Amino acid sequence: MGSKVSVLILAKNEEKFISACIESVKTFADEIIVIDDNSTDNTAQLSQKLGAKVITHALNGDWGRQQTFAIEQASCDWIFFIDADERATDKLAGRIKNILSQDDRQFAYMTARLSYFWGQPLKHGGWFPDYVVRLIPRQGTYVTGFVHPKICHDYKEVKLPENEYLVHYPYRDWNHYFNKLNFYTTLAAKKAKEAGKSANILDMILHPMWAAFRMYFLKGGFLDGRIGFILAAFHYFYTMAKYVKLYYIDKENVHITENNN
């Protein structure tokens, strides 16, 4: 007989992406719930037009709590998380329907993600398969973590085949990319400081060089052509920014004037 699944989407000002996201899950979703973080665009209206249930709930900077809230709104025995900048492929949708028909609630399923940037798939450089837990029984499941959430559960995790993936659009444009770079390097520096770590000039030199080398050569980023080179180069600056921010985290940015006698 099978079981039913609630598709859960967290969104804020996603009017350019939300429709395609919802359309991609319609073939297997029994209900679609959009948790809307007070969008000021047409995210809510477009979601409702496509049959989704929209619940307005402030994120308040706590992604894990928002996802847990979403789980609490679900009425089905299974839940499937998808972000507004993701799309379920036909192969993934078919696999999910098969899993639901068997309704074996011993497992949580991880899906691969294939990211695209400027129309190009990022298959190398550590970008793929980028497995994430997405399909899971609702009972006993909750999420922790303010920015990088962790789905907590007691089920055995199973990876679905790499060719049954989510399509992911992580960056809308270069402004979006650099805004994320700034945000996550600041967060990384704060976490490192809280863990008792510090940084020096060698960290600022050697860690970025290694990070870029590993992404471009060891993880095959060069196979993605021009965009692979660009992202590896920017990964150098990402890593450098992280250590620079850690070095300066407790220092004051003040102007010291000379004492004129």
Q: For residue 178, is it within any domain?
A: yes
Residues 79 and 194 in one domain: no
Higher pLDDT, 250 or 108: 108
d(CA 107, CA 78): 11
pLDDT value, residue 254:
81
Over range 19-39, report the average pLDDT. Answer: 97
* Total tally of structural domains belonging to the chain: 2
- pLDDT score of 59 more than 60: yes
Q: Which domain holds residue 15?
A: 5-168
Asked whether 57 and 37 are in contact (CB, 8 A), the reply is yes
Domain-located, residue 261: no
**Domain stops at, among 168, 203, 234:** 168
Of 168, 197, 213, the last residue of a domain is 168
Q: How confident is the model at residue 235 (pLDDT cuts 50, 70, 90)?
A: very high
Q: What is the pLDDT of residue 257?
A: 67
Q: Is the peptide bond before 129 cis (omega within 30 degrees of 0)?
A: yes
258 assigned to some structural domain: no
Q: For residue 260, what pLDDT is reported?
A: 53
- Average pLDDT on 231-244 reads 97
pLDDT of 147: 74
- Residue 94 has what pLDDT? 97
Claim to verify: residue 77 and residue 163 sit in the same structural domain: yes
Q: Please state the rounded mean pLDDT for residues 243-261.
A: 81
Buried residues in 197-224 as b, exposed as e (16+ CB within 10 A): eebeeebbeebbeebbeebbeebebeeb
Q: Report the CATH number at residue 31.
A: 3.90.550.10
From 80, 92, 87, select the one nearest 18 (Cα to Cα). Answer: 87
DSSP 138-172: STT-EEE-SSS-EEE-SSEEEEPPTTS-EEE---S
How many angstroms separate the CA atoms of 248 and 253, rounded?
A: 9
Residue 110 belongs to a domain: yes
Instruction: Single out the residue of 48, 59, 52 nearest to residue 12, CA to CA.
Output: 59
Q: Tell whether 113 and 230 lie within a shared domain.
A: no
* pLDDT beyond 70 at 16: yes
Look over the chain and give the mean of its residue pLDDT values, rounded to a whole number.
Answer: 95
Q: Specify whether 116 is located in the same domain as 180.
A: no
Write down which residue in 168, 200, 234 finishes a domain.
168
**Shared-domain flag, residues 154 and 34:** yes
Per-residue pLDDT tens over the stretch 180-233: 999 999 999 999 999 999 999 999 999 999 999 999 999 999 999 999 999 999
Q: Are residues 211 and 135 in the same domain?
A: no
pLDDT of 253 > 60? The answer is yes
The pTM for the full model equals 0.90
Q: Within a domain: residue 254?
A: no
Residue 88 exposed, middle or buried by CB count within 10 Å (0-12, 13-18, 19+): buried
